[in-house]
Amino acid sequence: MITDIQVDDHGRHRHFLTTEGLSAKAIGEILDTAESFISVGEREIKKVPLLRGKTIVNLFFEASTRTRTTFEIAGKRLSADIININTSVSATQKGESLLDTVRNLEAMHTDLFVVRHPVSGAADLIARSVPNHVHVVNAGDGRHAHPTQGLLDMFTIRRYKGGFANLKVAIVGDVLHSRVARSQIHALTALGTGEVRVIGPRSLLPFAVESLGAKSYTTMAEGLAGVDVIIMLRLQFERMSGALIPSAHEYFSLYGLTPERLALADPEAIVMHPGPMNRGLEIASEVADGPQSVILPQVTFGIAVRMAILARLAGAAGTETKSP
Amino acid sequence: MNIVISGGRIIDPSQGLDQVGSLFIHDDRLVGFEAPPGFSAERTIDARGLVVCPGLIDLRARLREPGLEHKATLESETRAAAAGGITTLCNPPDTTPPLDNPALAEWMIDRARQLGAAAVLPIGALTRGLSGTHLADMHALHTAGCVGVGNAYAAIKDTAVLRHALEYAAGLDLLVFLTPEDPWLGAHGIMHEGRVATRLGLAGIPASAETVALSRDLILIEQTGARVHFCGLSTAAGLALMAAAKERGLPVTADTPIHQLYLTEDDVGFFDSQCHVRPPLRTLQDREALRTAVAEGVIDAVCSDHQPHEEDAKRVPFSNSEPGIAGLETLLPLTLQLADLGILTLKDALARLTAGPAAILGRPEGTLRSGRSADVCIFDPNTSWTPEPASLRSRGRNSPFFGKPLRGQVILTLKNGHICYEKSAANKATTRDRAPG
């Protein structure tokens, strides 16, 4: 059986592929480093020399604005050279295989790949094929994982709520197709979150979602009661096949986050969304733009968290994690 | 040529035999356990410490020819089969083009015969082009030598077509091979719908994909009286349906691929494409139920479900990888291990590879009875070896069993009285040349 390869035999983080298996300590270190990078973005000269001379390739096989841009900014603020490659899977499938594409870029002395791919496991496959000194960061693979998003969400929660132990966190919507939800659930459980809930129609909750450590609910009334954090997920029509929900209208009437539903949660609850949002489909504009929304700060924090992860992997000495 | 295999532990499940003795062969025939009058051996094979059993029958092995010769050929795979102790194998009809015309079936049988290693029994197409809409010329296929008819992985979605196909086959007393997989429930899935698929974000194939298809098929079998063999059962719930159907006296049999008796969804780990198989690896509970079913005979036979691939077919993301394991050469040792694990006796384990499949197919092979063709497998039950890509004779480079020591090694294989594999000559990688002129 093949095993996790993110952490090497010396406990160093080689790749960042999933939040599964990360310790609370490792996550804490990344979030602490991210805190220290927040100020970099607020300075006149928004650069630190940690990755000077390193080459990062953003290899995106799937459209992305937010993730690709924040990775690019994160890399530049660390003084790395960044190359963006946007390509569609169909174009590469015609000729070159995924690994051939990667090998060619590797031959150009790339130090770190940031990979987004529509198929689960693509980043893992690449990480297993690159030489020892090359690092891979997963920027989203199929339905599997989006670990940097997962950690920026943890950063956001920690910023607004202080800690995790006494929190009730609800993840709402299309969990089935969501790599973000999986990365959040692993991180939240590692951090000892009081209660992790998923809410959605049964047809959009994965078969064995409770085995990940989340309690499942099919109604907002029950699921949102008293929660401290609400994370809304995008309805991913492009990944849906078959009859999963009757209509967008019915979905919003049952699972859309409206001011009335928000009132079911703790009065201090924060509302998050990994983006891009479908306003009026999973979230009402009043809520998205309302005082409890932290959706835009999430994006800002995303840069600092991605800087922390890039620096952890490719920074001069590599960062020790004693308990991976 | 007269051959005597002497001093081996002869295990022939078809006769309930397990004894130390000698086996005599005259030309292409077995002539018994005592030397016939005037018998003078031209070759004596010393089998002391070895097991002598009927040549194995593999119910499902894809040889990739015609159509996918970059993966494997009849030549490479029938020789790999011989190296695995297999002397007869059934090839499913999903070749390119599909096996729906008698000429192709005849060619395949003749080609295998010329090669002189394992014999190939093609399974003809049940529907033309495996389309699931028009019946194939089943009688012609049967006459050409097809051992039965089936539709491989291509489900027959239209229930009326399946009904008529079963009726027609029943009228000709043809064996029908069905793969129980609901085309809708299994449509987008890539592995078992369970904990691991949820973790990895891989689309699931629920256990109900098997039970829904099996239930439908069993009802139509009851209605039509067709003889049906179910390929590759994988779930505990499916086995319960199969046991009940047998109890009711339906003319049904079933097999499971040997890897299903060892691997589970957990072996997929972190996207191990070597564990991408169809039907998918299920849960530990399913695996235990399968082991019990093999022991109790609800599963009549185990097979290799051999699907050789080039390396690149697995060096892609899990969902894009091609399913299957190259299993011809690990079939015997893995089956022997069932006896080591105490799941069934060595004799019963061998029955699932010899008398069991022979009975399903209604074939004369799979026995050491006097007068039958001399298909014999001689193996060393105690020697361990470790399968590696380079050590296999198969062109397939795909197996989750690479690097894992297995006990039980084939020493010599006889097909129709010809030595088609001999371990001492193995380094020369020639199996055919050993056949006497």
pLDDT at residue number B437? 34
**CA of B400 to nearest chain A CA: how many angstroms apart?**
8
Structure tokens at B238: 């499916």
Least confident of A53-57, A194-198, A243-247: A243-247
Under an 8 A CB cutoff, do B271 and A242 touch?
no
* A179: chain B residues, CB-CB within 8 Å: 201
Quick check: helix, strand or coil at residue A44? coil
Residue B390: count other Cβ atoms within 10 Å of its Cβ.
Answer: 7
CA distance linking residue A9 with residue A3, whole number of Å: 12
Least confident of A116-120, A158-162, A315-319, B296-300: A315-319
CA distance linking residue A126 with residue A118, whole number of Å: 14
In eight-state DSSP terms, residue B281 is: P
* Contact criterion met (CB below 8 Å) for B258 and B234: no
Q: What is the pLDDT of residues B142-165, one digit of tens each?
A: 999 999 999 999 999 999 999 999
pLDDT at residue number A76? 96
* A141: chain B residues, CB-CB within 8 Å: 201, 317
Which residue among B187, B201, B319 sits closest to A182, beta carbon to beta carbon? B201
Domains of chain A, CATH where assigned: 2-145+300-313 (3.40.50.1370), 147-294 (3.40.50.1370)
Under an 8 A CB cutoff, do B270 and A142 touch?
no
Stretch A281-308: mean pLDDT: 95
Domains of chain B, CATH where assigned: 2-52+374-392+406-433 (2.30.40.10), 55-361 (3.20.20.140)
Quick check: helix, strand or coil at residue A307? helix
Quick check: helix, strand or coil at residue B409? strand
Residue B293: count other Cβ atoms within 10 Å of its Cβ.
Answer: 22
**Which chain A residue has its CA at the smallest distance from B264's CA?**
A1
CA distance linking residue A301 with residue B396, whole number of Å: 49
Residue at token pair 């992985």: B153
Quick check: helix, strand or coil at residue A198? strand
Residue at token pair 């973790």: B199
Phi, psi of A173 (to 5 degrees): 120, -135
Under an 8 A CB cutoff, do A1 and B320 touch?
no
Q: Which of B305, B348, B375, B380 is catalytic?
A: B305
Stretch A215-244: mean pLDDT: 90
Q: Which residues contact B103 (CB under 8 A, 6 or more apart)?
A: B144
This prediction's pTM: 0.93
Under an 8 A CB cutoff, do A120 and B269 touch?
no
Write down the mean pLDDT value for chain B.
95
CA distance linking residue A18 with residue A27, whole number of Å: 12
Which residue among B193, B266, B316 sits closest to A97, beta carbon to beta carbon? B316
Q: What is the pLDDT of residues B252-297, one digit of tens each?
A: 999 999 999 999 999 999 999 999 999 999 999 999 999 999 999 9
Which residue among B198, B203, B266 sits closest to A212, beta carbon to beta carbon? B198
Going along B84-126, which residue ranges are E strands?
86-91, 119-125
CA distance linking residue B279 with residue B298, whole number of Å: 18
Q: In this predicted complex, what is the ipTM?
A: 0.91
* Contact criterion met (CB below 8 Å) for A234 and A262: no
Asked if B312 is an active-site residue, the reply is no
Write down the mean pLDDT value for chain A.
91
* B185: chain A residues, CB-CB within 8 Å: none
Residue B324 near chain A (CB below 8 Å): no
The answer, yes or no, to whether residue B426 has pLDDT greater than 60, is: no
CA dihedral A222, A225, A229, A235 (to 10 degrees): 30
